[in-house]
């Protein structure tokens, strides 16, 4: 983000001879090649991990807490499809704790393009892997890709100064007043311009830091806790997450948080200028809109 490249482009207004100070349209080099490449590899990894992970969940669509959990044990969350005894119609049910929700059509029972009901926690359209064996293969392959890609990114971020320069909140960004005004700007969907657009805003920084240093490492560690070979070497993983089934539950919930992050991320991109942001993540170049004059 520091490497900026000046490119003064005359505004339409100035060309038309309107009496206004010609605004500067500046292009900065926002993302280094390592950030761009690891970002898109991450998109591929997370997509395939999510889809194969939903397939893995579908095989046993229930979550537990503690060391053990199986058919008949108390569930933390369960999704299933069954036939409603009163109507004879298929019904999809999602149970969270003691609350049961009718999720027919979305979870538990979904309908294919011909309108036929299909039983399964998550719809087949969003899962990857025709069977459990293939879903496992994809999930573990992409987990390797995610870990290697993540390691490259973390090492780069640490040694290139990317974390310090771009992600660590600056002193004045941490002042409550600044944080509140940033929240207010987000509520009003007001995008930063000019100098302020050259760095991430503080909410953005907090979010990226949480995803990079908490959520993704948590996904990897809870995933490893499900491996009986890995926990033979690192049994403290059981203690860290409260048991194998707790780790599986946290893995699932963290995956949900990641999905929410990606949704917000994509919506923010859509609101802030798809072309500009996509270009910055592909070529690195990002256009800074001039400050508002009024």
Provide the binding-site residues for other proteins, judged by CB under 8 A. Answer: 48, 56-62, 64, 67-73, 75, 78, 80, 82, 124, 128-134, 136-138, 140-141, 144, 226-233, 235, 238, 244-245, 248
Provide the 3-class DSSP secondary structure of residue 61.
coil
What is the distance between the alpha carbons of residues 286 and 200, in angstroms, rounded to a whole number? 13
Please identify, using beta-carbon distances, which residue of 225 and 276 lies nearer to other proteins.
225
Please identify, using beta-carbon distances, which residue of 197 and 224 lies nearer to other proteins.
224
- Min separation Cβ 85 and other proteins, Å: 14
Provide the 3-class DSSP secondary structure of residue 124.
helix
Please identify, using beta-carbon distances, which residue of 119 and 178 lies nearer to other proteins.
119
* Cross-strand pairs, 109: 119
* DSSP-derived secondary structure for 15-33: HTT-SSPPPP-EEEE-S-H
- Min separation Cβ 239 and other proteins, Å: 10
- Min separation Cβ 159 and other proteins, Å: 25
Which H helix or E strand runs over 153?
helix 132-160
Residue 147 neighbours by CB distance under 10 Å: 16
Which H helix or E strand runs over 178?
helix 176-187
- Min separation Cβ 265 and other proteins, Å: 24
Beta carbons of 139 and 127 less than 8 angstroms apart: no
DSSP state of 125: G
- Min separation Cβ 71 and other proteins, Å: 5
Please identify, using beta-carbon distances, which residue of 32 and 231 lies nearer to other proteins.
231
Which H helix or E strand runs over 189?
none
Please identify, using beta-carbon distances, which residue of 77 and 209 lies nearer to other proteins.
77
- Min separation Cβ 47 and other proteins, Å: 11
Please identify, using beta-carbon distances, which residue of 23 and 46 lies nearer to other proteins.
46
What is the distance between the alpha carbons of residues 33 and 54, in angstroms, rounded to a whole number? 32
Beta carbons of 103 and 82 less than 8 angstroms apart: no
Residue 263 neighbours by CB distance under 10 Å: 10
How many Cα atoms occupy the beta-carbon half-sphere of 29 within 13 Å? 7
Please identify, using beta-carbon distances, which residue of 232 and 275 lies nearer to other proteins.
232
- Min separation Cβ 26 and other proteins, Å: 42
């Amino acid at each position: 983000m520091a490497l900026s490249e000046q490119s003064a482009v005359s505004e339409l207004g100035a060309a038309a001879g309107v009496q206004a100070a010609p605004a500067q349209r500046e292009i900065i080099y926002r993302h280094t090649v390592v950030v761009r490449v690891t970002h898109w590899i991450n998109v591929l990894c997370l997509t395939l991990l999510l889809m194969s992970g939903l397939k893995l969940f579908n095989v046993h669509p229930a979550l537990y807490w503690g060391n053990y959990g199986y058919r008949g044990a108390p569930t933390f969350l369960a999704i299933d499809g069954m036939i409603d005894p009163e109507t004879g119609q298929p019904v999809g049910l999602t149970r969270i704790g003691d609350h049961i929700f009718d999720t027919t059509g979305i979870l538990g029972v979904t309908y294919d393009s011909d309108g036929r009901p299909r039983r399964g926690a998550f719809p087949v359209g969003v899962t990857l892997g025709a069977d459990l064996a293939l879903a496992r293969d994809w999930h573990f392959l992409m987990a390797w890709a995610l870990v290697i890609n993540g390691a490259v990114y973390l090492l780069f971020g640490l040694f290139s100064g990317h974390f310090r320069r771009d992600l660590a909140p600056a002193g004045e960004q941490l002042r409550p007043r600044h944080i509140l005004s940033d929240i207010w700007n987000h509520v009003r969907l007001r995008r930063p311009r000019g100098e302020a657009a050259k760095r991430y805003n503080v909410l953005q920084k907090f979010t990226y830091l949480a995803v990079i240093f908490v959520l993704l490492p948590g996904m990897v560690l809870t995933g490893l806790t499900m491996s009986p070979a890995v926990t033979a070497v690192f049994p403290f993983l059981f203690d860290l997450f409260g048991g194998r089934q707790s780790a599986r539950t946290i893995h699932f919930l963290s995956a949900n948080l990641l999905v929410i992050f990606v949704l917000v991320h994509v919506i923010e991109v859509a609101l802030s200028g798809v072309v500009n942001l996509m270009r910055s993540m592909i070529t690195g170049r990002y256009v800074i809109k001039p400050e508002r004059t009024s």
